[in-house]
């Protein structure tokens, strides 16, 4: 029976100051690590389930979420840890294809563990010297890959906030008077983003006070890419209304289809109308690491800001999102930043972010990148695309069972309907599409209850619900794709 940690002082003597306190501390921490390693082992064992699904009400009955009045002892905490992982989805499982971030890189995990032990704030060089310089070097490397010779960057808590930064910085660079006077002193500013883009640009439009009516959705072609002529038409329309178009969000890797907007033609329009070009490559940015796939982002060096999330295609742990910029958003905070410090304060990052406390998201990426080297990431990215090609090929071979909605995916997103027996050899009408949409939701329900597979689904435009499969776990092999397709048929053939 391990001790209850009764009082603060006792606790901080036991854990970890006293002689035997150190032993107890170490044993406790190693027990937690054992539990984690066991979970990782199971996550990588193809014979285990991806999840053991419980409805919220059921889970509340079997799991004790309460904060107790009295302290729980260390044994109970270990039980809590085990139970937590028991009911958690195994996002590292090779049969988990549900999100843009799948898999668990072991080196990145080790990096995150060390990050937690270091427990510092990415605020000033003074309190995070190594990590601040690491961020400086890694972000410089990423800007070089993009083709930004100068510039500045920040790690933000997720791609939506990185996109928000881009909007803030663009406004600040182009209309600096907004900062003190507010938007009422400016003409009506207008942003443009494709109808398939991530909702965060619209979100930034609301947050920043432009209004979502002034975040104009530009139509896409059938493959989900923004149509440059449509952009120019809408820009002219805004100008005719007396508004000021100032920001174009170009998506490289849309959320659902994985489409890449054509950067060069959009950059031409931005130059012509003096608009800020932002590239949201949160999803597709990883392609820049592969000579074979970087052409999808041709022209990215013409952007003035880029969002690129290493926690997606690059497989770093969540979360790790970069905003790679030419300019910075600075708020004056001289009570926090002394210019009379005894070191070079240009490395302090606290005054260029809208956060104050900021989590250390760099070490897990830096260590992972060291472990792979530049060459390892080429193989990593190419492997994901090779597996995607394999999946597309297999689906095309089974065209009675699967309807591939977009035949040539640009990214690792594969969008399809599963066709149960009764709908095979039936003409593909609007009614059939709607029925396949209903089947998609039902099949997902069966999948969750069986726990053997996870693939996400959604509607898009006039297409009713369809599956969007993601291969971003480099542990996925051909046999996993074979399993996925067979399992969908096993679970759904009679629907």
Q: Is 95 in the site for a second copy (CB under 8 A)?
A: no
Cα–Cα distance measured from residue 17 to residue 29, given in angstroms and rounded to the nearest whole number: 15
Q: Which residues contact 464 (CB under 8 A, 6 or more apart)?
A: 433, 434, 436, 437, 438, 440
The minimum distance between CB 299 and a second copy, in angstroms, equals 24
342 binds a second copy (CB under 8 A): yes
15 vs 267, which CB is nearer to a second copy? 15
What is the pattern of x (binds a second copy, CB under 8 A) and - over residues 248-287? -------xx-------------------------------
Taking the least distance from each CB to a second copy, the nearer of 96 and 299 is 96
The correct pick among 128, 277, 288, 325 for binding a second copy (CB under 8 A) is 128
Residues between 411 and 450 that touch a second copy (CB under 8 A): 441, 444-445, 448
Query: Which of these ranges, 89-97, 218-226, 264-272, 295-303, lies near a second copy under the rule CB under 8 A?
Result: 89-97
Distance CA 353, CA 362 (A): 16
Closest CA to 199 of 121, 255, 123, 277: 255
Site membership for a second copy, residue 48 (CB under 8 A): no
Q: Which of residues 291-320 bind a second copy (CB under 8 A)?
A: 309, 311, 317-319
- Smallest gap from residue 1 Cβ to a second copy (A): 15
Chain CA centroid to CA 430, Å: 33
Residue span binding a second copy (CB under 8 A) among the ranges 60-68, 398-406, 428-436, 484-492: 60-68
Tokens of 438: 């209903």
Q: Between 8 and 427, name the residue whose CB sits nearer to a second copy.
A: 8
CB 383 within 8 A of CB 474: yes
Q: Using a CB cutoff of 8 Å and minimum separation of 24, what contacts does 432-438 make?
A: 433/463, 433/464, 434/464, 436/403, 436/464, 436/466, 437/463, 437/464, 437/465, 437/466, 438/464, 438/465
| CB of residue 267 to a second copy, shortest distance in Å | 25
In the region spanning residues 190 to 229, those forming contacts with a second copy, defined by CB under 8 A, are: 198-200, 202-203, 205-214
Q: Is the peptide bond before 315 cis (omega within 30 degrees of 0)?
A: no
Q: Any idea what DSSP says for residue 281?
A: -
* Per-residue contact flags (x/-) with a second copy for residues 147 to 186, judged by CB under 8 A: ----------xxxxx--x---x---------xxxxxxxx-
According to CB under 8 A, which residues from 368 to 397 bind a second copy? 369-376, 379-380, 383
Q: How many C-beta atoms surround the C-beta of residue 256 within 10 A?
A: 21
Number of residues engaging a second copy in binding (CB under 8 A): 171
Helix axes 363-397, 129-146, angle to 10 degrees: 40
Closest distance of CB 279 from a second copy, Å: 17
- Which bin fits 299, alpha (ψ -120 to 50), beta or left (φ > 0)? left
Nearer to a second copy, 280 or 410 (CB): 280
């Amino acid at each position: 029976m391990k001790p209850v940690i009764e009082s603060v002082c006792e606790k901080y003597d036991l854990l970890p100051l006293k002689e035997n306190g150190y032993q107890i501390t170490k044993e406790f921490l190693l027990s937690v690590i054992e539990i984690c390693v066991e979970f990782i082992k199971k996550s990588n064992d193809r014979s285990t389930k991806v999840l053991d699904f419980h409805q919220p009400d059921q889970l509340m009955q079997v799991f004790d979420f309460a904060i107790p009045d009295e302290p729980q002892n260390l044994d109970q905490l270990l039980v809590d840890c085990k139970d937590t992982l028991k009911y958690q989805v195994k996002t590292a499982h090779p049969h988990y294809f549900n999100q843009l971030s799948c898999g668990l890189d072991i080196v990145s995990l080790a990096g995150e563990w060390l990050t937690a032990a270091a427990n510092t704030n990415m605020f000033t060089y003074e309190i995070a010297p190594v990590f601040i310089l690491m961020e400086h070097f890694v972000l410089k490397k990423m800007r070089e890959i993009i083709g930004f010779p100068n510039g500045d960057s920040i790690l933000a808590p997720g791609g939506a906030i990185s996109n928000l930064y881009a909007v803030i910085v663009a406004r600040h660079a182009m209309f600096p008077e907004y900062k003190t006077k507010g938007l009422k002193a400016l003409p009506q500013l207008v942003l443009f983003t494709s109808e398939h883009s991530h909702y965060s640009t619209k979100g930034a439009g609301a947050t920043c006070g432009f209004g979502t009516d002034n975040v104009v959705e530009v139509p896409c072609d059938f493959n989900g890419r923004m149509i440059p002529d449509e952009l120019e038409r809408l820009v002219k329309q805004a100008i005719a209304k007396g508004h000021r178009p100032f920001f174009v969000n170009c998506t490289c890797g849309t959320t659902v289809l994985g489409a890449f907007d054509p950067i060069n033609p959009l950059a031409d329009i931005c130059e012509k109308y003096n608009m800020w070009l932002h590239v949201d490559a949160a999803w597709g940015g990883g392609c820049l690491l592969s000579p074979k796939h970087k052409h999808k982002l041709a022209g990215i060096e013409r952007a003035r800001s880029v969002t690129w999330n290493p926690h997606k295609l690059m497989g770093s742990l969540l979360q790790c999102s970069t905003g790679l910029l030419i300019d910075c958003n600075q708020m004056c905070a001289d009570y926090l930043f002394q210019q009379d410090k005894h070191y070079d304060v240009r490395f302090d990052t606290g005054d260029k972010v809208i956060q104050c406390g900021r989590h250390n998201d760099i070490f897990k990426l830096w260590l992972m990148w060291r472990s792979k080297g530049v060459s390892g990431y080429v193989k990593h990215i190419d492997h994901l695309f090779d597996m995607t090609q394999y999946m597309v090929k297999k689906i095309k071979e089974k065209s009675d069972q699967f309807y591939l909605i977009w035949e040539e995916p640009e990214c690792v997103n594969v969008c399809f309907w599963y066709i149960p027996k009764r709908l095979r050899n039936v003409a593909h009408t609007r009614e059939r599409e709607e029925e396949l949409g209903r089947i998609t939701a039902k099949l997902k329900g069966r999948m969750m209850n069986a726990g053997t597979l996870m693939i996400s689904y959604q509607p898009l435009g006039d297409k009713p619900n369809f599956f969007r499969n993601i291969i971003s776990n480099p542990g996925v092999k051909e046999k996993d794709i074979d399993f996925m397709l067979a399992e969908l048929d096993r679970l759904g053939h009679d629907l």
